[in-house]
Amino acid sequence: MSIPQTGGGLIESHDDLVTFLASGCKPEADWKIGTEHEKFGYCQDTLKPLPYDGDRSIKAILEGLQDRFGWNPIFEGEYLIGLELNGANISLEPGGQLELSGAPLDTIHQTCDEVNEHLREVQSVADEIGGRFIGLGFAPHWTHDQMPLMPKGRYKLMDAYMDSVGETGRDMMRRTCTVQVNLDFGSETDMVQKFRTALALQPVANALFGNSPFKEGKLNGHKSWRGRIWKHLDEARTGMLPFVFEDGMGFDRYVDYALDVPMYFVYRDGQYIDALGMSFRDFLKGELPALPGEKPTLSDWADHLTTIFPEARIKKYMEMRGADGGPWRRLCALPAFWVGMMYDQNALDATTDMIKGWTPEFREELRVAAFTDGMAAEVDGVKMMDLARQCVEIADAGLTARGREGAGGLVPDETHFLNALKDTIETGQAPADELIERFEGDWNGDVTRVFGEYSY
């Protein structure tokens, strides 16, 4: 989750909110790629989650990265809660998951190098204290009570609120991990086209990257339990956003949607002020009960946008949010999947043709089928395997057309980052299918075997 936003003056009108989003528009030559991924830390001998504090802890990992690799500390009060270096951030998710929010980079070669360097740094620090990290979409055997809540003010507020608005919010906070990619748009028209592709095809990404078939040591009956959790978290701030596909969609329409999402907090002077369930519309009028008479700044608006959790969302860029955390190789496959479809106009037009005619009901049914059945999903005679094959073919063509070289010109483009997905299409097995097969086979129902064989 995001750190507090900074900068931006007082909001004078509704148009300021629209302008904030529209200011993200960039010429194609300036489009970047940002990759984010989360992972679970655990004690190597006990297989228990790393606590926040102590000799073997999340804090010790952060301090090791700071001391050895020059990361700059980020504090909330007395607590070390993150690190920053060269446009990238390392932050703490609510249950101690460690997240890299990568710097905006030009190519997938660069973002993959960044991911690899980060994982090597984390691994070297973790090895010294007897810790390890693993990429999964949901904690394989830890209970809710075993997952420590990190000492960040927004998490304390959210934790208390979640059970009042949905079934699975506290599980989302403590026991899930994701990988996502953030991409740019060139204009409002480009944003709308990309947003529609991102939302409609998010279930395909969920199926290809599904990696959470376990809950508390047993099979949970789903390929992506993380995907199910987001379905039942909070209807006011999650979902597939049917309005994005309607006539009149644009930055202004998204602002109206965001204004109707209940608030979590306002950040002032290093403190999170409880604004749970309150209205940003009231805040604009100076009538927020938490801060009577005070009006919001653009930083408050930026903070509010980070508390909205649909399957894809926009800020000054677009976030693809549908994939489970996963193995090392797939951390580079996700940006390849979306960049290939989004950053070449012919490819983007092909996805637009692909989703044309899909109804809101079909998109929602596809979402549920994806997190339940993964690559075996089928809705109204449409097979997930066929959709995934078509998406990967479009992405491959898009990356070929981009022609971004790597390794000093020795690698002609970025298409090889799709190889993990091509393997899934060839075998029919996403990561969850492989884990289920191992669990029912040579692991003999012992889910803890996942740590020895799938950790970074």
121: tokens are: 């740094």
pLDDT of residue 82: 97
Question: Tokens for 18?
Answer: 């629209």
Q: Are 78 and 85 in contact (CB under 8 A)?
A: no
Could you write out the DSSP letters of every residue in 118-153? Answer: HHHHHHHHHHHHTEEEE--SB-SS--GGGSPPPS-H
β-partners of residue 383 are 378
Query: Which one-letter DSSP state was computed for residue 280?
Result: H
Cα(176)–Cα(170) distance, integer angstroms: 10
Q: What pLDDT does 328 receive? A: 87
Q: CB-based contacts of 295: which residues, under 8 Å, 6+ apart? A: 10, 11, 283, 284, 285, 286
Torsion of CA 303, 178, 309, 302, to 10 degrees: 20
- Cβ atoms 388, 420 nearer than 8 A: no
pLDDT at 329: 86
CA distances from 136 to 77, 168, 319 (A): 31, 18, 20
The backbone torsions φ and ψ at residue 91, rounded to the nearest 5 degrees and listed phi first, read -135, 170
What three-state secondary structure class fits 77?
coil
Residue type, 126: A
Where do runs of H (alpha helix) occur along 343-383? Answer: 345-355, 360-373
Task: Give domain 26-245+315-454's CATH architecture.
Answer: 2-Layer Sandwich (3.30)
Residue 294 CB neighbour total at 10 angstroms: 15
Predicted local confidence at residue 7, as pLDDT: 62
Domain boundaries, the chain: 26-245+315-454
Separation of alpha carbons 234 and 160, rounded Å: 14
Helices and strands (DSSP H and E) totals, the chain: 17, 17
For 70, residues 6+ apart whose C-beta sits below 8 A from its C-beta are 85
At residue 160, the pLDDT reads 87
Biggest alpha carbon–alpha carbon distance for the chain? 64
At residue 1, the pLDDT reads: 53
pLDDT of residue 175: 98
Check: CB of residue 215 under 8 Å from CB of residue 225.
Answer: yes
In contact, 9 and 22? CB cutoff 8 Å: no
Residue-by-residue pLDDT tens, the chain, 456 positions: 565 665 678 999 999 999 999 999 999 999 999 999 999 999 999 999 999 999 999 999 999 999 999 999 999 999 999 999 999 999 999 999 999 999 999 999 999 999 999 999 999 999 999 999 999 999 999 999 999 999 999 999 999 899 999 999 999 999 999 999 999 999 999 999 999 999 999 999 999 999 999 999 999 999 999 999 999 999 999 999 999 999 999 999 999 999 999 999 999 988 999 999 999 999 999 999 999 999 999 999 999 999 999 999 999 999 999 999 999 889 999 999 999 999 999 999 999 999 999 999 999 999 999 999 999 999 999 999 999 999 999 999 999 999 999 999 999 999 999 999 999 999 999 999 999 999 999 999 999 999 999 999
